[in-house]
Amino acid sequence: MRAGSLDQIITVQRSTETVNEYGAPVFSWTDIDTLRAQKVEASTDEFLRDYGAIDETAVVFRVRWRDGITPADRVVHDGMVFKLKQVKEIGRRKGLELRCVSSGQEAGP
């Protein structure tokens, strides 16, 4: 994987659970890593769901190998939130392909 092709910056986030002062669980997203990435492909599809038609953007990012990224995590790129659908290993610990889907949600503060 050539360093020159890693021209995008993504942030990988993981859901964390804390307890507030009333003892209720509170879920939030915590940054676990900021990575250089290559945006391989992007496509927008319109799907008909039970609640109507929505646009979904599918994106594939390639990054250098990093242990611990799972489909339970999410990716933030250019202020947009992408749900990880699949994490695929490239070679033998050479890199990862992060296959993501976005429904148009923007990253919050």
Q: Give the CATH number for residue 90.
A: 2.40.10.270
Does the residue 42 lie in any domain? yes
Does the residue 109 lie in any domain? no
Q: Say what the pLDDT of residue 77 is.
A: 93
Alpha carbon distance 47, 50 (integer Å): 10
DSSP 23: S
Give the rounded percent of residues in the chain with a pLDDT score beyond 70: 81
Does the residue 64 lie in any domain? yes
57 forms beta bridges with: 44, 102
Is residue 63 within 8 A of residue 10, CB to CB? The reply is yes
Domain that holds residue 88: 3-102
Q: How high does pLDDT run on average in the chain?
A: 85
The low-confidence residues of the chain, meaning pLDDT below 70, are 1-3, 44-55, 103-104, 108-109
Closest CA to 29 of 73, 86, 87: 73
Tally Cβ neighbours within 10 Å of residue 55: 11
Does the residue 65 lie in any domain? yes
